[in-house]
Amino acid sequence: MNTPLFALIFLFIFTPAIIIFLEGKYKIIKKIGAVLMCYAIGLVVGNMGILPSGSEKYQGLLTEITIPLSLPLILFSMDVKKWFKSAGSAFSSLLISLFSVLVMIFVGFWIFKGSIDEIWKVSGMLVGIYTGGTPNMAAIKTALGVSQELYILTHTYELTLGAIYLVFVLSVGQRVLLWILPAYKSPNSGAIEVGTLNLEDEFESYDGIFKKETFLPLLGALGLSAAILGVSFAISLLFPEEFKTAAIILFITSFGIAASFIPKIKNIKKTFQLGMYLILIFCLTVASMADVSKLADVSFSLFYYVGLAMFGSHILHVFIARIFKIDADTVLISGAALICSPPFVPVVAGALKNREIILTGLVDGIAGYALGNYLGIAVAYILK
């Protein structure tokens, strides 16, 4: 193996693993977040002029295959059937959340359509990020062919505003919403203990991933994900050229959800973590392909659009929830689950001192993963 190729493999494949390791060791790294770390390192390395000649083809290959491979792995771990049955009460808040996001995306589109290039693609990505988080946004980026610079700029604004939103939720959010919404009332069905859900092991912890009993089935899951990608690509050949990539993402999502209903597949450990690892590779690679000079021009219109989509949708959500008399805790946990993803659910529930809403948050977050790609791609083409 030649030295330049080895250096590329080390950078794009092993750097995310090093960041994950450091996240587990240092709180400051965990607070910054692996996604942001990968973006930062990618931008620095990609714009220093140190990547070897011809590296573009390897970078392009990684960005093309990591997201399609990651989506089924993330969806395999979702016990959609069980959660949908055991937490039907979560759907009213979920539907209001989705409706509020879509309304603000359309409103923002008409306000900023003359000042943001390819705003229809931005709209699709914002639907994805506010229904399923980074995995859905990255998938929609791939499906719509969004440029590296536009994707990173949009996601950077989202991460910045998302941090402000999370601080609000974890600090005074409950007290503010109680001025408008009713307090949570326990259904007296028994509190859900955080420990019984094993959320850290299910969504975050990479511990034991190389043990034989975990690693071998995980390789099988990766192989199945590759097979799903192959079948989806074959089916996409039946569609017009401009819709092929979008069709691949939608079929991958559908097959991934279908596979999650098969117990032997759903019970494979660490599939979510492997999927997120592939997304970190994508983040690092796509950042290394971005031109910093194009990112230097701050787009206030794009920043305002992201802010309107995030905060506007939550304000609308609160007022609709008031009409339907949905409590403050349920509204807060639904918003956190959709924006920040399921791993943040117990954190928010702990801040609210209410463990009974954990299942509601999980259902909304999982449904967001499942629905985000469909909604995001549909909205983008409608607005186009």
Which is nearest to 101 in space by CA: 113, 93, 111, 112? 93
- Residue 39 burial by Cβ neighbours in a 10 Å radius (0-12, 13-18, 19+): buried
Which pLDDT value is given to residue 333? 87
pTM recorded for the entire structure: 0.74
pLDDT tens digits for the chain (384 residues)? 455 667 777 788 899 999 988 988 888 888 777 877 887 888 888 778 777 777 777 777 887 888 889 888 888 877 666 555 545 556 777 888 899 999 999 999 999 988 898 999 999 999 988 887 778 888 898 889 898 888 888 888 887 887 788 778 878 888 999 999 888 876 654 444 444 445 555 666 788 788 888 899 999 999 999 999 999 999 989 887 777 777 887 888 889 888 988 989 988 988 888 988 988 888 888 788 776 666 566 678 899 999 999 999 989 999 998 998 888 888 898 888 887 766 667 667 767 877 777 667 777 777 787 788 899 999 999 998
In the block, tokens 């993803």 appear at 341
Q: Which domains does the chain have, with CATH numbers?
A: 3-383 (1.20.1530)
CA torsion, ordered 192, 197, 199, 201, to nearest 10 deg: 160
Q: What is the pLDDT of residue 294?
A: 60
Tell me the torsion sign for CA atoms 173, 176, 181, 186: positive
Report pLDDT for 44: 84
Q: Is 151 exposed, middle or buried (0-12, 13-18, 19+ CB in 10 A)?
A: buried
Identify the pLDDT of residue 293: 66
Residue 40 has a pLDDT of 83
